[in-house]
């Protein structure tokens, strides 16, 4: 299959030399070393330590760099199987198959690739397969662009996938490690998508502290999942052709409904694991503030700088960073902003999906004025100056 | 401690090493103990296509990411960025903060339209011309070292990164940890390595170019605009 130079008989895959530990040990206990690397390199370091059995991907800007790096990891023996699929429907279908077979599977894509793979991706949660999908956000609409606009995340919101939104290179490392383990807990057994802004994070250099590569996550035990790994010696040949599911009657509707309820309940059950591994699903700065910014992804970084500059001018602005989009940390957000008077939600997309999520969560629970913006889209970054302007205007409008 | 911040926007054309230069400067700042981040901006990786890259340099932790919309330093790697409009940002000085610095790779001053000149004057921009391609050709015997000449001048202007850290960063790029910039850059590497036969020789040529342009900038009186001097940077 591969045209790579054959390994000598004495070759030992480097992954075999790594010691297996839990995600909790890896993320919370091991000493870390600070590196100055790109988001793609941070993803590589995570993949190297995630004990990935099978990676499959199809290149797309800005994801390509990461999966090119994964190719090197395969060559060194950190990933057991790796190949380039034909395109994303094939990739997303194949990766589900790999996961169903009981191994830890990882893929990555960007905006338009995610859209192309959507049919397969939206079938993952119900199939209770556990692949981890790294999503390097990219514009999906016309005019064509390769810049980061995270509108594609809104298409995943209601699939039953776990969704994490990384702010920076450090998060991309940590969240990927966390996702690889949480997805496989028996009471979760779900796929996860770890999103990050393309270019602004993937191609940008930033500080990332990472534990030694002498360690990797414990291997997946496919038998322990809610829907166990397929027994390939005795494959069930008629999964979805069995009458009770396939035929439209009240039994099949009932079955389907309970199945979906269970998927979304499983999403909520993953919360307790992320609370530990990510040290909370929200991060709150200046909790006493009357004015809050709620953000996820890159918008958090811009908000931090705005808050710093406001602080220099003697004004306290609070921040709620949302780390997990699914499960959405409604209770934590309500608690954080209960005394807020004004809330700003900066986003890198036109639709304002985070604004809608926050409004649903806070409806009837908070008296603050929730401002519908600011937003940039088409892949542009949000200048800190824009957040400062909106803060000023909001202060005037809703004094 | 007052926050010093240099927001640098680099513009050039594909193949000149604009993105590599931003990685080298940024990495150099980190080596010297400062804080830095960068983000490149380009379309498909092809020769002569517009390329931009943004570097943030500070003496404190940097939160912001993404493109720099309001820079206080511009580095123009090729005159056609201005003369032919080969740029994502038009006109090239859009968003430049008052009193900002513009370093242009060209032997002689460029002629601007009346409107452009007025806007540059209103911004009180400092326009400096560096013959970077000529320095590269003379010292490294290849215009591929143009980006090194641009890096050297920036080091002289701000003192951050200092020349030593910058040289260390260049070493990282070629024989150290192997900075990953892009797939296209990897292909270019193998081409340029053949020409120089040995990486060591390549490294020396790059170091010499850095030093030569550093010296040039010092002689022009551009040095100590920033970090090392008493003068504060433009606020951001």
Cα distance from A8 to chain B (closest Cα, Å)?
Answer: 26
- Give the per-residue pLDDT at B233: 39
When the pLDDT of each residue in chain A is averaged and rounded to a whole number, the result is 94
Q: Which residue of B has its CA nearest to A382?
A: B66
- pLDDT (average), residues B102-108: 96
* pLDDT exceeds cutoff 70 at A314: yes
pTM for the whole thing?
0.86
On whether any CB of chain A is under 8 Å from the CB of B43, the answer is yes
Q: Is the dihedral of CA A79, A83, A89, A94 positive or negative?
A: negative
* pLDDT exceeds cutoff 70 at A248: no
- Give the per-residue pLDDT at B39: 87
Q: CB distance A204–B38 less than 8 Å?
A: yes
Q: Which of A184, A213, A242 is the last residue of a domain?
A: A213
- Give the per-residue pLDDT at A180: 98
- Band (pLDDT 50/70/90 cuts) for residue A247 is low
Q: Are residues A30 and A175 in the same domain?
A: yes
pLDDT in tens, B45-92: 678 889 999 999 998 889 998 889 999 999 999 999 999 988 888 899
pLDDT in tens, B4-42: 788 999 999 998 999 999 999 999 999 999 999 888 887
Q: Which residue of B has its CA nearest to A387?
A: B64
Q: Give the pair of three-digit tokens for residue A158.
A: 């209601």
- Give the per-residue pLDDT at A3: 54
On whether any CB of chain A is under 8 Å from the CB of B67, the answer is yes
Q: Are residues A40 and A178 in the same domain?
A: yes
Q: Are residues A288 and A389 in the same domain?
A: yes
* pLDDT exceeds cutoff 90 at B216: yes
Q: Are residues A203 and A341 in the same domain?
A: no
Q: CB distance A381–B69 less than 8 Å?
A: yes
What residue segments make up the domains of chain B, in order of their start?
5-219
Q: Are residues A209 and A290 in the same domain?
A: no
On whether any CB of chain A is under 8 Å from the CB of B51, the answer is no
Q: CB distance B23–A205 less than 8 Å?
A: yes
- Give the per-residue pLDDT at B235: 38
Q: Which residue of B has its CA nearest to A302?
A: B64
- pLDDT (average), residues A146-168: 96
- Is A307 contained in some domain? yes
How far apart, in whole angstroms, are the C-alpha atoms of residue A18 and residue A213? Answer: 7
Q: Are residues A63 and A185 in the same domain?
A: yes
Cα distance from B27 to chain A (closest Cα, Å)?
Answer: 7
Cα distance from A369 to chain B (closest Cα, Å)?
Answer: 26
On whether any CB of chain B is under 8 Å from the CB of A206, the answer is yes
- Is A46 contained in some domain? yes
Q: Are residues A195 and A296 in the same domain?
A: no
CATH number of B5-219: 3.40.920.10
Q: Which of A152, A181, A213 is the last residue of a domain?
A: A213
Best CA proximity match to A224, nearest among A259, A192, A189? A189
- What is the residue-wise DSSP string for A120-146? HHTTHHHHT---EEEEEE---SSSP--
Q: Are residues A209 and A100 in the same domain?
A: yes
Cα distance from A202 to chain B (closest Cα, Å)?
Answer: 9
On whether any CB of chain A is under 8 Å from the CB of B1, the answer is no
Q: CB distance B39–A380 less than 8 Å?
A: no
Among A41, A204, A298, whose Cβ lies nearest the Cβ of B180? A41
Q: Which residue of B has its CA nearest to A61?
A: B44
- Band (pLDDT 50/70/90 cuts) for residue B227 is very low
Q: Which residue of A has its CA nearest to B68?
A: A383
Q: Which of A33, A34, A35, A36 to mutate: most B Cβ within 10 Å?
A: A36
pLDDT in tens, B163-207: 999 999 998 887 765 555 555 666 666 666 666 667 788 889 999
Among A36, A197, A200, whose Cβ lies nearest the Cβ of B30? A36
Residues 143-202 of A with CB under 8 A from B: 146-147, 168, 197, 199-201
Instruction: Name chain B contacts of A203, Cβ cutoff 8 Å.
Output: 39-40, 182
Cα distance from A310 to chain B (closest Cα, Å)?
Answer: 13
- Give the per-residue pLDDT at B223: 87
On whether any CB of chain B is under 8 Å from the CB of A41, the answer is yes
Q: Is the peptide bond before B190 cis (omega within 30 degrees of 0)?
A: no
Q: Which of A188, A213, A238 is the last residue of a domain?
A: A213
Q: CB distance B65–A199 less than 8 Å?
A: no
On whether any CB of chain B is under 8 Å from the CB of A68, the answer is yes
Number of domains in chain A: 2
Task: Give the strand pairing for A215-217 and A162-165.
Answer: unpaired
* pLDDT exceeds cutoff 50 at B234: no
- Is A8 contained in some domain? no
- What is the residue-wise DSSP string for A161-213? -EEEE--SHHHHHHHHHHHHHHTTSTTT---EEEEEETTTTTSSEEEEEEE-T
Instruction: Name chain A contacts of B26, Cβ cutoff 8 Å.
Output: 36, 205
- Band (pLDDT 50/70/90 cuts) for residue B232 is very low
* pLDDT exceeds cutoff 60 at A161: yes
Q: CB distance A203–B26 less than 8 Å?
A: no
- pLDDT (average), residues B102-131: 95
Percent of chain A at pLDDT > 90 equals 85
Instruction: Name chain B contacts of A301, Cβ cutoff 8 Å.
Output: 63-66
How far apart, in whole angstroms, are the C-alpha atoms of residue A292 and residue A11? Answer: 56
- pLDDT (average), residues A230-252: 64
Residues 285-324 of A with CB under 8 A from B: 298, 301-302, 304-305, 308
Q: CB distance A301–B63 less than 8 Å?
A: yes
Q: Which residue of A has its CA nearest to B27?
A: A36
* pLDDT exceeds cutoff 80 at B228: no
- Is A189 contained in some domain? yes
| Residue pairs between chains A and B whose CB atoms are closer than 8 Å | 69
- Give the per-residue pLDDT at B4: 74
On whether any CB of chain B is under 8 Å from the CB of A334, the answer is no
- Band (pLDDT 50/70/90 cuts) for residue A242 is low
Largest CA-CA distance found in chain B, in angstroms, rounded: 50
How far apart, in whole angstroms, are the C-alpha atoms of residue B236 and residue A312? Answer: 12
pLDDT in tens, B108-122: 999 999 999 999 999
- pLDDT (average), residues A258-270: 96
On whether any CB of chain A is under 8 Å from the CB of B65, the answer is yes
What is the distance between the terminal CA atoms of chain A, rounded to a whole angstrom? 67
- Is A236 contained in some domain? no
On whether any CB of chain A is under 8 Å from the CB of B182, the answer is yes
On whether any CB of chain B is under 8 Å from the CB of A383, the answer is yes
pLDDT in tens, A173-229: 999 999 999 999 999 999 999 999 999 999 988 899 999 999 999 999 999 899 888
- Band (pLDDT 50/70/90 cuts) for residue B141 is very high
Question: For the domain that residue A82 is a member of, what is the CATH number?
Answer: 3.40.50.970
- Is A5 contained in some domain? no
On whether any CB of chain B is under 8 Å from the CB of A270, the answer is no
Per the structure, the complete domain to which residue A198 belongs is given by: 14-213
Q: Are residues A86 and A179 in the same domain?
A: yes
- Give the per-residue pLDDT at A211: 98
Phi, psi at residue A186, to the nearest 5°? -60, -35
Q: Which residue of A has its CA nearest to B41?
A: A199
* ipTM of the predicted assembly exceeds 0.85: no
Instruction: Name chain B contacts of A205, Cβ cutoff 8 Å.
Output: 23, 26-27, 36-38
């Amino acid at each position: 299959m591969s045209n790579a130079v054959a390994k000598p008989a004495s070759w030992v895959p480097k992954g075999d030399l790594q010691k297996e530990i839990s995600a909790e040990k890896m993320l919370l206990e091991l000493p870390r070393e600070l590196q100055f690397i790109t988001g793609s390199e941070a993803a590589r370091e995570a993949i190297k330590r995630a004990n990935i059995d099978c990676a499959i991907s199809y290149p797309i800007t800005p994801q390509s760099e990461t999966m090119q790096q994964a190719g090197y990891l395969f060559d060194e023996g950190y990933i057991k199987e790796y190949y380039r699929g034909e395109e994303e429907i094939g990739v997303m279908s194949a990766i589900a198959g790999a996961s169903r077979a009981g191994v830890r599977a990882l893929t990555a894509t960007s905006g338009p690739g995610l859209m192309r793979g959507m049919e397969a991706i939206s079938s993952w949660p119900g199939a209770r397969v556990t692949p981890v999908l790294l999503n390097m956000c990219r514009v999906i609409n016309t005019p064509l662009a390769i810049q980061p606009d995270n509108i594609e995340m809104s298409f995943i919101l209601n699939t039953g996938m776990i969704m994490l939104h990384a702010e920076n290179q450090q998060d991309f490392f940590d969240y990927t490690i966390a996702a690889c383990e949480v997805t496989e807990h028996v009471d979760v057994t779900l796929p996860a998508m770890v999103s990050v802004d393309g270019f602004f994070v993937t191609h940008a250099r930033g500080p990332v502290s990472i534990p030694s590569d002498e360690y990797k996550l414990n291997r997946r035990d496919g038998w322990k999942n809610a829907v166990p790994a397929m027994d390939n010696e005795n494959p069930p040949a008629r999964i979805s052709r069995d009458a009770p599911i396939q035929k439209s009657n009240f039994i099949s509707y009932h079955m389907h409904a309970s199945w979906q309820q269970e998927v979304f309940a499983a999403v909520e059950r993953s919360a307790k694991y992320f609370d530990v591994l990510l040290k909370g699903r929200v991060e709150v700065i200046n909790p006493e503030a009357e004015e809050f910014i709620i953000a996820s992804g890159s918008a958090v970084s811009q908000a931090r700088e705005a808050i710093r500059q406001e602080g220099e001018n003697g004004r306290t602005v609070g921040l709620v960073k949302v780390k997990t989009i699914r499960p959405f940390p409604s209770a934590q957000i309500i608690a954080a902003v209960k005394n807020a008077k004004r809330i700003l939600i900066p986003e890198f997309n036109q639709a304002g999906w985070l604004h809608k999520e926050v409004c649903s969560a806070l409806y009837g629970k908070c008296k603050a004025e929730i401002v519908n913006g600011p937003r940039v889209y088409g892949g542009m970054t949000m200048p800190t100056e824009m957040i400062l302007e909106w803060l000023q205007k909001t202060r005037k409008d809703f004094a | 401690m007052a926050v010093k911040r240099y927001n640098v926007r680099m513009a050039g054309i594909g193949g000149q090493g604009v993105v590599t230069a931003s990685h080298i400067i940024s990495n150099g700042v980190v080596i010297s103990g400062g804080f830095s981040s960068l983000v490149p901006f380009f379309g498909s990786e092809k020769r002569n296509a517009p390329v931009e890259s943004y570097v943030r340099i500070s003496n404190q932790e940097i939160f912001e990411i993404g493109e720099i919309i309001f820079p206080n330093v511009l580095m123009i790697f090729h005159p056609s960025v201005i003369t032919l409009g080969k740029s994502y940002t038009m006109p090239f000085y859009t968003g430049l903060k008052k009193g900002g610095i513009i370093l242009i790779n060209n032997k002689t001053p460029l002629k601007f339209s009346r409107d452009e000149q007025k806007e540059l004057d209103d911004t009180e921009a400092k326009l400096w011309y560096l013959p970077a391609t000529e320095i590269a050709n003379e010292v490294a015997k290849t215009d591929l070292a143009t980006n090194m000449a641009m890096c050297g001048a920036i080091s002289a202007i701000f003192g951050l990164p200092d020349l030593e850290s910058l040289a260390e960063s260049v070493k990282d790029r070629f024989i150290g940890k192997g900075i990953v910039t892009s797939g296209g850059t990897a292909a270019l590497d193998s081409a340029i390595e053949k020409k120089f036969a040995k990486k060591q020789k390549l490294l020396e040529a790059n170091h010499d170019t850095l030093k030569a342009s550093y010296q040039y900038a010092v002689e022009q009186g551009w040095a100590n605009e920033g970090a090392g001097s008493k003068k504060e940077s433009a606020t951001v």
